[in-house]
Structure 1
């Protein structure tokens, strides 16, 4: 199952990529939403090999997964991998410079089930795919708009 969205950001590609690499901010946002995050890699700088252990509760169940930054190609792409509840997930963030001050942000999430219970979960998500896709695209659009506004105020 795959979700994808793309939005244009009114900022240079280097600034957009730098903002996306502010992992501490993303960690704080996740903690405010009730997730527990623990960084489990020794890396001092952003790059491939960064890993987190994430714990959160959704629909009354405690979920635990490992998240890893597997590909890091500044300022063009980041690829995250996660494995949870029998599902392999890949989260891709691609950036494309449209002009000097305009960048296209493309985000994709692909989930593949590894066992029967994961297949049932993915199947139930497919039933609600249109509403989930709408929500996914809305959140990406909101993030891109906020990011553009925040970055425009800095240059």
Structure 2
């Protein structure tokens, strides 16, 4: 099951990519929402092989997730792969410079079930695909707006 959207950001491609590389901010944000997040690797700068372990509650159950950076091509592409109980997720973020101060970001999430219970979950998500896609696009648009505001404060 795949979700994807694209948004334009009023900021240079290098600045947008650097904001996407601010992993400590993402970790703190997840922790504020009740997740336990920890870096597993010893890498000093963003690159392929960065790994996190996360634990969080979702729909009344404790979930565990391993997240790994599988592609890191500065300043155009970043791909993160997640594994949890029976579910493989791939999130890709591709950047394209439209002008010196305008960047297009394509954000895609692909979920693949690895066992029967995950297959049932994905099947139930497909039934709500229209509303989930709408929410997904809204969340990405909000995230992009936040990035634009951060850039305008520093510019």
TM-score under structure 2 length normalisation: 0.98
Which residue of structure 1 lines up, in the alignment, with residue 104 of structure 2? 104
Corresponding residue for residue 154 of structure 2 = 154
Q: Which residue does 1:69 correspond to in 2?
A: 69
Which residue does the alignment assign to 1:90?
Answer: 90
Q: CA RMSD in A?
A: 0.7
Provide the C-alpha distance between the structure 1 equivalents of 2:118 and 2:143, rounded to a whole number of angstroms: 29
> What are the superposed Cα offsets for residues 4-24 of structure 1, whole Å, 9 maximum, x if unpaired?
111000000000000110000
Partner of 1:54: 54
Cα distance between partner residues in 1 of 2:9 and 2:33: 25
Note the alpha carbon deviations across 1:39-72, whole angstroms, 9 max, x for none: 0001011111000001000100000010001110
Distance 1:6 1:148 in 2: 15
Q: Give the Å deviation of 1:149.
A: 1.6
Count of residue correspondences? 155
Question: d(CA) in 2 for partners of 1:14 and 1:39?
Answer: 24
> Equivalents in 1 of 2:28, 2:149: separation in Å?
20
Q: How does 1:28-47 map to 2 (within 5 A)?
A: 28-47=28-47
1:71-111 deviation per Cα after TM superposition (whole angstroms, max 9, x unaligned): 10000000000111211110001100000000001100001
**TM norm structure 1:** 0.98
Using the alignment, how far apart are the partners of 2:102 and 2:72 within structure 1?
21
Question: Secondary structure, in 3 states, of the residue corresponding to 2:46?
Answer: coil
Q: Give distance in 2, aligned partners of 1:67 and 1:107.
A: 17
Q: In 1, Cα distance between the equivalents of 2:41 and 2:153?
A: 33
Counterparts of 1:103-142 in structure 2, within 5 Å, are 103-142=103-142
Q: Give the distance between the partners of 2:120 and 2:96, measured in 1 at CA.
A: 36
**Unaligned 5+ residue runs, structure 1?**
none
